[in-house]
Structure 1
Amino acid sequence: MNKYLLTIFTLFIAMSGFAESPDSTEIAIKEIEQSLQYQTGTIKLKEGHGTLIVPKGFHFLDQEQSKYVLSDLWGNPEDNTIIGMLFPIHVGVLDDHSWGFTISYDPMGYVKDDDANTINYDDLLASNKKDILAENQERLNSGYGTIELIGWASTPYYDSNKKVLHWAKEIKFDGDSANTLNYNLRVLGREGIYLVNAVASMDELPEVNKNLDQLIASVQFDNGYKYEDYTDGDQIASWTVGGLVAGKILAKTGFFAAILKFWKIIAVGIAGGFSFLWKKIRGRNENDTIEAPTKPIQEENDEDSTKS
């Protein structure tokens, strides 16, 4: 639990006598859900010369609203690299089984895929486990719990025809009873890559797998910026396909965790005695003068360059 949520929880305990009934919590949650402005259809992505064709059964939140969900509602540190999120239409962002995909872009250049068939994924897994253990102290210093890499939830696979790399890790956050799914998709282009990451628990892995094919097809580079549009003289990325999977998991950002059950408890206090916190959550577009406790910076992408 990070310092931001711990502070809110402490305030909630102190003011619990003022909390209203669970009905007030449900009303508060419903208002938040109704405030989100989802999009469907074809969406021009803000970065990377690409287009998102929202898959059937999903809807899209833009950059600002995605940051609101990830940081204000789910308790993650802000990540300005996120350009949007996809959510299943049948699950609200504050439901117990909420999950979604973050989308970001890294202009790292053209990623060579010559080593795709020579990667030893067992060695990569062992290396990643050591990296995470080494970086846990920085997480603790930033006010966050430690992380343990349990293993592959899905072994890395590179589709050389579609130029898409994907893999999944099972992550254990300190103090959590359920493990987190860290599912990564990398769509390769001429000048960089789109990073699509599942923000989910391990329970949602079957749902993620079921929607994987249409998700891969939904993120497309525009003509002239596709992988096959490479020409001599274009920037070459320092990463290869193998390097994308092997990239260090830095402790500043990277693994998102949705603290949904804890949020439900907080919401009771908000609906009751915590009007200033409720205004913070509702009033991103209002001129509120009361600020929530400052959140420390957390993690980073698997590459140097994105639920608990």
Structure 2
Amino acid sequence: MKSLLPLALCLVIASAFASEADSTQVLADSLEATFNYQHGEIKFENGIGTLNVPEGFRYLDPKQSEYVIHDLWGNPGGSGTLGMILPEEIGITEGAWAFIITYEEMGYVKDDDADDIDYDDLLEELQKETVEGNKEREKEGYEPITLVGWAAKPYYDKSKNVLHWAKEIKFGEAEESTLNYNVRILGRKGVLVLNAVASMNELPEVEKNIDPVLTSFSYGEGNKYSDFNPDVDEVAAWTIGGLVAGKVLAKVGILALLLKNIKLVGLAIVGAFAGIRKWFKKKVDPPAVRDIGGGTPEPPADSTPA
């Protein structure tokens, strides 16, 4: 993937006399051609489970996903994913949105508090914590974050052992909010995490695809939520409310792991293409050569968790 950088620079120079729209389209097409998308059955490591890529989607493996998340979209991390799936008709650059797949081996998450949570109160608490967290983020050179509210209120489907929620987040002075749609599929020893990152106006499109994506994944033999054995299995330190709030994750050391992928929420993906163009402009300006990427990495409120 690193070979893309000199290639991309050559493309910019070669298209110096073309219009900006033409040159960036050449770049987008060239980048797309380097990716090896997969369809069909994908078996995840360690017998976690199997993904049958849903119709209308395509899959990128962990290595390529790390490149997209870190190098192309400008995230501070990206490692540790199981890959990503994105709509077939949408490229990885302009207008992109995707489901990022990870797995947290946190133990068996009890769901007996699911009906007792006041999510309005929880939202107010998270908003206050976000404001407090901005002090530290700004010290580190990051833009402040505004947790606007629930884009979709948390909902736990007890029949499928699946938790959904979505946040509307605004970064700095950005005119457009970012959507972070979270799905957690509970298993015997942990939770499969699906984070859909998109612009707010893509919420209907994301919601329309939740069910096909959910049904495309199945836990491996013995790893289903119903396979839990209280005599031998570890129970997680948090429940449904903890997954949404994320506080317990920080206490048990998961936060550092999540921070590696934190920009997944922070990047407004619809701005990714503009970031690529910015990268090219800086590459042809020697004094700015160190400033590679599509903007300032921004850790969002979803370090709690994304």
Q: TM-score, structure 2 length as denominator?
A: 0.81
CA 1:201–1:293 in structure 2 vs 1: closer, same or farther (change >3 Å)? closer
1:273 to 268, 276, 284: 284
CA 1:109–1:83 in structure 2 vs 1: closer, same or farther (change >3 Å)? same
Segment drifting more, 72-81 vs 83-92: 72-81
Is the CA contact 2:243–2:305 (under 8 Å) kept in the aligned structure 1? no
Is the CA contact 2:145–2:170 (under 8 Å) kept in the aligned structure 1? yes
Tell me the residue number matched to 1:116. Answer: 114
Unaligned runs of 5+ in 2: 1-8
Tell me the residue number matched to 2:133. Answer: 135
Tell me the residue number matched to 1:154. Answer: 152
CA 1:190–1:163 in structure 2 vs 1: closer, same or farther (change >3 Å)? same
| Aligned-residue offset at 1:301 | 8.5
2:275 to 263, 267, 272: 263
Distance between the aligned counterparts of 2:116 and 2:245, measured in 1?
Answer: 13
| Aligned-residue offset at 1:48 | 6.2
Alignment of 1:1-308 (within 5 A): 19-21=16-18, 22=20, 23-46=22-45, 49-95=48-94, 97-232=95-230, 233-248=232-247, 252=259, 253-254=261-262, 255-257=265-267, 258=269, 259-266=271-278, 269=281, 273=284, 299=299, 302=302, 306=306
Tell me the residue number matched to 1:283. Answer: none
Is the CA contact 1:19–1:269 (under 8 Å) kept in the aligned structure 2? no
AA aligned to 2:30 is E
| Aligned-residue offset at 1:273 | 3.4
AA aligned to 1:191 is K
| Aligned-residue offset at 1:47 | 5.3
Distance between the aligned counterparts of 2:47 and 2:148, measured in 1?
Answer: 33
Could you say which structure has the higher helix fraction?
2
AA aligned to 1:129 is Q
| Aligned-residue offset at 1:264 | 5.0
AA aligned to 1:260 is A
| Aligned-residue offset at 1:69 | 1.3
SS in 2 for 1:82: coil
Distance between the aligned counterparts of 2:301 and 2:216, measured in 1?
Answer: 21
Q: TM-score, structure 1 length as denominator?
A: 0.81
- Overall identity of the aligned pairs, in %: 44
CA 1:48–1:156 in structure 2 vs 1: closer, same or farther (change >3 Å)? farther
Is the CA contact 1:29–1:267 (under 8 Å) kept in the aligned structure 2? no
Distance between the aligned counterparts of 1:31 and 1:186, measured in 2?
Answer: 35
AA aligned to 2:35 is L
AA aligned to 2:284 is G
SS in 2 for 1:144: coil
* CA deviation vs aligned residue, 1:49-85 (integer Å, no higher than 9, x gap): 1111111100011111112112222112113232211
Segment drifting more, 255-264 vs 32-41: 255-264
CA 1:31–1:274 in structure 2 vs 1: closer, same or farther (change >3 Å)? farther
Is the CA contact 1:187–1:193 (under 8 Å) kept in the aligned structure 2? yes
| Aligned-residue offset at 1:241 | 0.9
Structure number with greater CO (CA < 8 Å, separation at least 6) is 1
CA 1:135–1:64 in structure 2 vs 1: closer, same or farther (change >3 Å)? same
CA 1:126–1:305 in structure 2 vs 1: closer, same or farther (change >3 Å)? closer
* CA deviation vs aligned residue, 1:108-154 (integer Å, no higher than 9, x gap): 00000000111100011011111111111222233221110111110
| Aligned-residue offset at 1:219 | 2.1
CA 1:188–1:20 in structure 2 vs 1: closer, same or farther (change >3 Å)? farther
| Aligned-residue offset at 1:267 | 5.8
RMSD across aligned positions (CA): 3.0
CA 1:98–1:296 in structure 2 vs 1: closer, same or farther (change >3 Å)? closer
Unaligned runs of 5+ in 1: 1-11, 278-289
CA 1:304–1:148 in structure 2 vs 1: closer, same or farther (change >3 Å)? closer
AA aligned to 1:262 is A
Segment drifting more, 200-209 vs 212-221: 212-221
Distance between the aligned counterparts of 1:296 and 1:176, measured in 2?
Answer: 12
Distance between the aligned counterparts of 1:225 and 1:154, measured in 2?
Answer: 28
* CA deviation vs aligned residue, 1:260-306 (integer Å, no higher than 9, x gap): 25225326537x8379x9xxxxxxxxxxxx98769997537847674
Distance between the aligned counterparts of 2:303 and 2:192, measured in 1?
Answer: 12
